[in-house]
């Protein structure tokens, strides 16, 4: 996402922010900015966010206040329309439960969890969120791949050989162990934890391709699957190299587990801050009403 687009989203989210003791946003003003085409398509995301709020032991009504308002439909006539007042925390939970394929969702996660107004900090946080999403996607893909290989009769050692062969192809001749040494990664830490998003996504794509073709062609022998995995990783590498990107030359990123811990801490701090704000607002009026 370009800086100009980020700045526009930032300004728009600021423009629709309301204040009544506690800052809040209206769901009907929010959903188009998050990349949703209609209200009905946005409601399931709200429902997941409310469930998440409830799971964390919070009063849903303190963060999501459902209301009905009258809107003009022409010729002076009006009709009732459902809307929802949402605290910053409610908006963050909504973004967290949104469609991660939308770039606006990653931005919204960063915007609503952040208390800063510096664009460069928001951009950094967006990159972190996208890296976490890519890493979690790779975990799922690799788990499915390992399960498939297990069904094909490969043991832990055989699965490791297939994965290592794929890394050897993707990283231009460097083995998984050599890449760890090159990037200064401890032996007990997964290599993917320190890889930049582009490399994580490359590994994910190559692994998915191998999974699909192993099923389609009914490969059963280790050498067949290994050859397929090498071919797919080589193909993905060639695309990257054509774009001027050599995976083995990219510097390591911060360990993803540290970033996840940091985001978890920020989430807790934001939750505590909003509890205090809501308490103060309730003394004046009634939550976000």
* 250 and 264 housed in the same domain: no
* 64 and 159 housed in the same domain: no
The pLDDT, as a whole number, for residue 286 is 47
154 within 8 A of 162, measured Cβ to Cβ: yes
User: 288 burial class (0-12, 13-18, 19+ CB within 10 angstroms)?
Assistant: buried
Structural domain span for residue 142: 129-254
The pLDDT, as a whole number, for residue 275 is 67
* 187 and 238 housed in the same domain: yes
Mean pLDDT (10-residue bins), the chain, 289 residues: 68 84 87 90 93 86 87 76 90 88 82 64 77 92 96 94 96 95 92 95 97 95 96 97 96 92 81 66 52
* 250 and 135 housed in the same domain: yes
The pLDDT, as a whole number, for residue 126 is 78
In a domain, 121, yes or no: no
In a domain, 124, yes or no: no
* 164 and 267 housed in the same domain: no
The pLDDT, as a whole number, for residue 112 is 83
Cα angle, residue 272 at apex, residues 269 and 278 outer, rounded to 5°: 140
């Amino acid at each position: 996402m370009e800086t100009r687009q980020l700045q526009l989203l930032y300004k728009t989210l600021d423009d629709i922010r309301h204040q009544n003791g506690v800052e809040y946003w209206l769901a009907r003003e929010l959903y188009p900015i998050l990349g949703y085409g209609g209200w009905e398509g946005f409601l399931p995301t709200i429902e997941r966010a409310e469930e998440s709020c409830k799971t964390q032991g919070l009063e849903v009504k303190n963060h999501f206040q459902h209301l009905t308002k009258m809107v003009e439909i022409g010729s002076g006539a009006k009709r009732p329309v459902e809307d929802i007042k949402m605290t910053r925390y409610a908006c963050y939970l909504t973004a967290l439960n949104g469609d991660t394929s939308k770039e606006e969702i990653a931005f919204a996660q960063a915007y609503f969890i952040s208390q800063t107004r510096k664009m460069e900090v928001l951009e950094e946080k967006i990159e972190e969120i996208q890296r976490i999403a890519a890493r979690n996607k790779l975990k799922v893909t690799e788990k499915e791949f390992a399960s498939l290989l297990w069904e094909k009769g490969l043991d832990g050692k055989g699965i490791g050989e297939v994965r290592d062969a794929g890394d050897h192809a993707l990283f231009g001749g460097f083995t998984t162990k050599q890449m760890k040494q090159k990037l200064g990664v401890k032996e007990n830490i997964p290599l993917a934890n320190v890889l930049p998003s582009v490399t994580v996504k490359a590994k994910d794509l190559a692994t998915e391709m191998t999974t699909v073709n192993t099923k389609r062609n009914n490969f059963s022998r280790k050498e067949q699957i290994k050859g397929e995995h090498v071919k797919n990783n080589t193909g993905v590498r060639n695309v990257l190299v054509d774009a001027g990107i050599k995976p083995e030359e990219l510097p390591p990123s911060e360990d993803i587990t540290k970033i996840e811990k940091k985001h978890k801490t920020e989430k807790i701090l934001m939750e505590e801050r909003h509890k205090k704000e809501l308490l103060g607002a309730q003394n004046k009026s009634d939550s976000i009403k």
